[in-house]
Chains A and B, each alone.
Chain A
Amino acid sequence: MESIKKMDFSYFPGCSLATTAKESNQSLMKVCEKLGLNLIELEDWNCCGSSSAHSLDQKLAFRLAARNLSLAPSDRPLLVMCPSCLHRLKLAHKVISENPEARAQEEARWGRPIDPGLKIMHFFELLSGIEPSRLEAALVRPLGGLKFVPYYGCMLARPPALRKERNYHGLIEKILSSLGAESLFWAFSARCCGTFLSAARPDIAVPLVNEIIGGAVKAGAECIVTACAMCQLNLEIRCTLETRIPTLHFSEILALAFGAKGSKSWFKRHLVDPMPLLKAKGLI
């Protein structure tokens, strides 16, 4: 992929980053600012449909995603932060780009053109296109050997239709190690967090989350770094273990390393307080 310099992106935050995970949204903005990337929020974006739409009504799921695609200007890539929103938008875009009839139907429904060549990318794809030297140049506060385990959840697992897309396994480890943190091996980096069962069936989500956090503690981690805001929330709210460790959004720890201001207001929103750890490590 060509290297990314200063660029404009349409940005789809998704419901989690707009509400429960505002700290991830705010820290992402800081990271992009530090890297000279300009995020322009997608005008009047709607929920991608999440798990519920495709579970109950396929057409609804497709149309909710299609409306967002119809709102995206064609002159810049659409950046998505939530792995689940990314799948919904990409799957809908695949249908639209491969099926002219479906495209015409959705363009008529929304009264707006949909670019079949629209580039939809995750934050990880963006990061992987940035030269390591640029990330290191942005480093203000080295991460002081902070021991973390990377948590991707189901982000790396994709439906067969998207199987040929590039995979960003290892990106969290690679980047945070270059910024001075220490990545540890563990067994649960790609274990599903429980998603909506955390709300609908906490009895199923609790043992799953406990297994994940227990695994991180056993590996000697001081914190977990997540790729997805919903995973971050589930790991915080459904752990019933006595020994708990903080779960940080990837964007938060990046912003911290880049010396962004305002980080205390993000960490106040965590249910497992990361401040004692970050203070002990001299990061705050």
Chain B
Amino acid sequence: MNLWEILRFALRGLSANKLRSGLTTLGILIGVGAVILLVAVGNGSSIKVKNSITRLGAGSLTVSTSTTGRGGGFGGGGQQQGSTGPRTQAKKLTLDDARALTESPSVESASPVVNASSATATYAGTSHSISQFVGTAPTYFKPANKVVERGASFTGADVTAGNKVVVIGRTVVTDLFGTVDPLGKKINVNGTYFTVVGVLAASGSSSTGFQDADDVAIAPISAVQGTLTSYGSLSQIVVQAKTPEKVDAAQAEVTEILNQRHEITGTTSDFQVFNQASLQSAVEDSSKTFTVLLGAVAAISLLVGGIGVTNIMLVTVTERTREIGIRKAIGAPKGAILGQFIAEATVLSLVGGVLGVAAGVIGSQFTIVGVEPVIVPSSIALALGVSVVIGLFFGSYPANRAANLRPIEALRHE
């Protein structure tokens, strides 16, 4: 009895009951397919989150006024004042803050940012509400990962002069201009005319995040302040580190400078520095947990499939008791019977495994609930390996039962 012969007996045994073999295979198929597909979905969503974070800008820091940071200090002093109003002690971010940050060694640029809360742009009778109308400096484009595709960005001179020029995103172009070339056209934003000087490249993340990243307009801060927002505090300061490796150093410097300028001594402060890298690792951690969770769910279905194999093999052994008796009577050694049934179980689960891999790979070509699955190659190897092990493991019990049958009793079985 060589291996090939054992395999042939196994295949013959399986093909004798095609429906049953098929359904058992289906159990393993679903298990293996689920492992591959769900791990791919988890992986895909983590890659997607990572990409959209990277798209926000690499090596950049965002400084914003803190809404909770002063809480501790405020609580202490606030009792006497009896004030329930917002942070009277907190200092807002100012243009001077931004200018001061530019001086520090690890910082390449610090761009002051003001956001116009509601900006409705009209052009030739068409109107569009721009979700993000940003007033800033030309240095803002790099850390914010905004690329000017056509035309040009505004310049430092525009900022100094307070020129009413604007660079607009793809969504704004489509909604406002349609097929018309927007360059050089004047748009009316809340009563002020801005000249379009540039168009941003599509960010490629239009469907992700909380808002449309292409529904944006960027203008010199001097032009926005006083027309769309009041003079005064900034919404944010966007800081670009000299290199991505210097982000942590830049963060420390920014914190120190602002602590000094805002006269903060304790652990609480009235601003917060937001680091993309730290956010990224936090998101990575959570998406890893997500992937593990999905994988665990899939592994359970694989286990259920394995139990299905055992169940069917037990039924098969019982049903073929007489055949086993005949085989033993004509001199089949125990090993041959054992091999035959283990081979049957392994073929079942291996075929299921291979089909499951195919199903998983095909399934992951489709977008699933907005996530493009990315297959993890090791998950294929793992799922296939596990399916073979399942065959060996879950098949060995029924096979042992068959091999240990006593021939006279097996022959008497009807």
The answer to whether A and B assemble together is no
Q: Which residues of A contact B (CB under 8 A)?
A: none
